Structure 1
Amino acid sequence: MRLSVAAAVATFCAAILLHPLFEGGAWFWGSFGAVLTVLAASAISGRLSLPAWAAGLLSLAGLGIFLTAAFAGDKAWALVVPTRGSVAELAGLLGTGWADIQRFAAPVPGDNPGIALLTTGGVGIIAVAVDLLAARLRRAALAGLPMLALATVPATILVEPIAWWAFIIAALGFTGLLVADGRERVGHWGRAVLVRRTRAATMPAPHESADTRGLRLSGKRIGFAAIALAVTLPAFLPPLEPVSFFTFGVGGSGSGGKGNSIEIPNPIANLKGQLDLPEPRTVLTYTNNDDVPRYLRIYSLDIFTGEEFTMTKPTGTPENRVENGLLPPPPGLGGGVEQVSVVTTIQVSDDVRKMEFLPLPYPPREVRADGDWRADESTLMVFSTRDNATGLRYEVATSDPQPTAQQLRSAPRPQRGPESVESRYLRLPDDFPADIRELAHTTVEGADTDYDRAMKLQEFFTETGDFRYDLRTQGHSTSALRDFLLSSKVGYCEQFASSMAVMARAIGIPARVAIGYTGGKKAGDQWVVGTNDSHSWPELYFEGVGWLPFEPTPAGSAGQGSAQVPLYARPQPTPAATSTSPTPGSTARGEDLPPGQEAGRNPRELDDREARLGNTGLPPEESTPLIVNIGIGLAVLVLLLLVPAGVRLVTRSRRVRALSWKVTAPADELTARVVAGDHPSVAAAWAELDDVLYDYGMAREPSETPRRLAQRLAQQYEFDAGAAAALSSIAATVERALFARDPGEIGPLGKDLRLVRRALAATVTRGRRIRAALLPPSTLRRMRSMGEGLLDGFDRLEGIRLRRPAR
């Protein structure tokens, strides 16, 4: 029974690792009930002495009954007995839960019935496996493999590491299972005798079994030490640079600047999941120096597979760390286009999970963020393989291009070649439907320039094509694209952005799809961006200007109310319109700026010429000098090393205060069982003398009386008359307090103790005195005693019996 209980506790401790994946506690109680059910089935199996295979089947049957009662009781017979209807109900919930897990991002709603069923059933199955391996097959170490599956789920899904307290709980649960298994094995040698660890040696009676406490104590010390090292050691290790031996991480500094790349989630699925949330959640807030909202791009998708847009895995060399200064220049952006310099401060919400790419206005020129963030040279996406943006506050400087329609009309076609922009961003599958290609050419018929063609494509989706916004769409295949463009004409931002990008490629304009957030809504002095502001838009390439966003999603769409058309992409801009409507992805013209602020100049007094050339960045950061950081680190290390010395000083000062007290008691108030603790000055003097002896390596023998100790020290170290008399006085006072019926008046012992301490210090080397002051062995001995006391508590728990043993 002990192993069954230990297996259940270990499983539930490991299940606590799942807590960051859920909101609410429904999953917790469901998992708890499943583990208890498996424990009850294991107890029945043990009572009936069933074979291992039968015990496993009984546990699975019990788990099935629990799941039926908890999730399909209204369709079961007597609320617990499974029926055809209850099985169908559970199967439907499993399908719904699986679909919801694919749709939601962590943390998922814990009160969702389908998700709760999946979690409860999964934890229950792991509990069955752990119980079968540990309690039936007696393979407790192998039982750690099913529990490891519970740890890999959050480690795989979440960016941030497992919480230290959750790891400790899970590790303690597994250690307890190993201890219980070891005790069962040792118990086969004979009856284990639990003996409290005291200063006096205690031997078992001749008829009792050998004491195995040393074996158990060593195992526990190893287990607890391993857990402590696993939690604390990583905090003191410096971060290591990924090397090319591994297939994960960021690019190294090999030839061509290419290297390993980051594994990323599906951006489109993540976008759809955020838009499907029942209630919007705040993702981030931001402020900038011209108070104009901007699109914040996260991903840049450049590959069209024929079914959907995906992205080439970004690479970032160590030279492209954002901490190194300016990012690589924006592809295609020349010096003949007006640019407006903007500094934006972004604060990501603490509730955001798994954000490995920074939301940034395009094109970023400099980013200041804590952590190892790097820029992909071709797309300027900023990402990290070690850090995540949860709760991160960072700054980004951008130089937004402000092209005119005439500049875009006169932009030359991109140069052709295998490595050119055109070859990468014009690529379409060989089986690309001819009717969609024909639709693209028909839509832009009559347009003479790429800019005019892009405008006709945008107008096709927003005005002339009778398209409608709706989130209730499915599929990304070619048939779904054809249905969206030629038949249903109903979709959400991802369909509009992908379709315009595909049609742009079909007519010869390099195009890609961006995924991120719109500018959000103004709240006070900042802009607030929520999950409902998740958005996708196409970016088209113009030589000399670079990548520019367009907006094909119909205006005023539900859930996309903050989507706006850029100034250069508006069919008939008027002074009135440009003075009141902010632009996405680029800043406003001079007439849009607040009074007193010039176009192309920000409040940080950046040079106007540098602003137009894009050579702007964030203001210098006042960082702490390296020598100061080293000094702070050394000071912290010294303080940690001086903790035992500080504890020793506090203890000594407390005892010194007690040495000045006098204790006088009548004879009729004392008995023969008086202890030194009843006299504060005596107890303090004796404890301090004992610690001084231990610190100087002169520990008192357990069999020595106070008088015998005084005689030995005086003779062995040749004390002078004063020191010998002081030591004899302390010894006589201690004996009198311990054994005399009437100890009489006990005066202050401080002076005698000081004489003895000086005499003892004179007999040892200077190194011993320094060690006694900085790293006192007496304090370390107390710390070890506290640890042994904790292990004693586990011994007492092990001694608890659930039932009285048979006589």
Structure 2
Amino acid sequence: MIPAVKEVLARRGVDVAVLSFLVLAALVPFLPVFGTALLVAAVLGGVLLGAAVAVVGAALRWGVLQVLAALAVVLVLLSALGAPTTALAGIVPTPETIGAVGRGVVTSWKDIVTVLPPLGGSGNLLTAPYLLALVATCVSVTVAVRTRRPVWALVPPALVLVVAILLGTADVTTSVPLGLLLAAAGLVWASWRTGRMHAGRLPGVVALVAVGAVVGGAAGVLAAPADRFVLRERIEPPPDLHDYPSPLAGFREYVKDHREEPVLTVEGLPAGAQVRVATLDAYDGTAWAVADPAQSGSGEYLRIGERIEPEPTDGLHEVSVTVGEYAGVWVPVLGTPYDVDFTGAGAEDLSRSFFFNRSTGTGLTTAGLAAGDTYEVLAAVPERPTNTELEGAPLADVPLPEVTVPDVVTTVAAALTADASTSIARIQAVEQGLQAGYFSHGLEGETPSLPGHGAARLDSLLGGEDPMVGDEEQYAAAMGLILRSMSIPARVVMGFEAPAAADGAVELTGDDVTAWVEVPFEGHGWVPFYPTPDEDRIWQEESPLPQNRPQPQVLQPPPPAQEPPDAPPSDRQDVEIDDEEEKEDAVFPVALLVAAAAVGVLLLLLAPLLVILAVKLRRRRRRRTRGTPSARVAGGWAEIVDAATDLGVEVSRTATRSQAAGEMVAALAAPGEATRRQRRTAPVDASAARATELARRADAGTFGPAEPGEEHVTTYWGEVEATLARLRTAVGRRRWWRSRVSTRSLRRTRRRDPRTTAAARNSDSAGPAPRRKD
């Protein structure tokens, strides 16, 4: 084989090298997508292996099926290139590696466009570029080496480039230069390969390639990213946010049900940092929620790859979070997350179902968080700019969806901002105006305050005759709507506020839940504002004190005589009986449900046994009632044989009925052999079963000169039942019932007609030949 391979390389070595280079260059757009050196190993290995298969196939003159088989073998043996994180030391494939690559052949393409770059090398994401490099190189080199039209070998690299661009990012810096480079290199190789390249044209071709590279690079740098078409920008993210209710709607549940209980335990939380649960920028008159992806960027939740942000910066904080009483799909984070890494028992499911939104800095996992789940967050915590810094900063132009603004909001906005002239002044006027209200969660012992932030609740907060009373839910929702009514971009954020002293592990309870409003400023990003009054601002309705006015004394008439109180019934049993009846009425449905459930479980467990008994009962009825009288007599004997078979007796298929009867009695009389499933059976005296007599009468009914009458059939089946009863007494009830649910007789091959079988092998029966019907 080696001489043949050397011969192919000597003749077509340039073709192999050029086409391998073109495939490698076509895969360059994947570099910003994966952002890991494992991609280089995967595509380089795929190119070398594909070229090797093509060269060996050409040397040995393999057919198409043989080349495809060789590619499949290479894909399996070197599957570590497509799923390195599942292989031993990243090199030796394991069964998990082979399975991951097998699934990745189909699923990795979808994951590439639904996971936020950089993807890294986790899972089987590298299967797609590895497979592209392997197959494209093999096809391209095979066409160039073994066909008379080598120019067609340029098609696979061109297709690979198109696929890599579609699956890549919106960055066009490398796409245009790569396209021009591949076109120029392919043109030069095709001209040389077809013999059309003259020596004098070489300098011109080199100059053409250089000019194309420069022009292409400049076009890539200057091209607008919005003009780039990539699949990841056109595919709607998998999670449907309408399936999840607004977390702000359940604000009061934390305070009411878990006020003193740890909802989250955070370790490493920076001082002054707040934990963000969800960012909401859409309002429909009922609740603040996450906007639809078609309306706002806040709805674009995508899966993340190796990390959220491609390049971590300095000054990041690493925080560990342990979930307590918190439950939901929204993943609490802080600041600007760069990475979220789930740990613990359910880490794999949580990571697989985790989606993140870079524009809002929030994530969700469709699997849902529960008590005991843990994860780590690597995030940057920016400092809030001062009012002086915000004074001259313009508002950022951020696309937000339309919101439903109640009429009272517009009125309050005009009243609060009448004296404000700048954007920051209007925002601060609204913030301070709402802070002048009163605080209450509406719990027992507190000032009445209804939960929710729908249009009716905000109308009572802002437009009622009573002072404003509410908590963070109402004030943040109101400020967000007031700012949006004035065309100021704003969104509402729900999260948790850490205590002032945040050293070590911090337990965030339900009393730490909060909400605030964020407004975007140029150069500062989203800046938080807190419109909620202090918790010590409690409103109490003032009532006039009673005045002490002395009244003249007047002689009062004597009180009327009191009637004797009604004596309680002497017989208390009536009341107790009524109570017992009421209790029985209340307990009866529960007891009935428990009994029904128990009966259902019992029937489910006994269902296989009942099916076996029903099949055997139907078989006996068919043998006794269907067919000719002689067939029904033979069916009676078959019932005896099946009963013996279920008892563990092996009846010879070639024995006559008389011989079979002797075998049954002898087998039951001898002790059985012990097996792994069954103990050694005890010997049984079955001589009283009269099996030999039944066998003789079955032969007479089958081979007699005339059909037996109905009385003979009835009598014979009566003796069959008597014989079965004697067998039951002889073997014992326990062994008999075990035989009734045995499937040994049901698994036996269906016997042929008893009369023809006996006629063919019955050597000791007397009488004429069996009857035949004309």
- Find the structure with the greater CA-based Rg: 2
* TM-score interval, normalised by the smaller of the two chains: 0.3 to 0.5
TM-score where L is the length of structure 1: 0.34
TM-score where L is the length of structure 2: 0.36
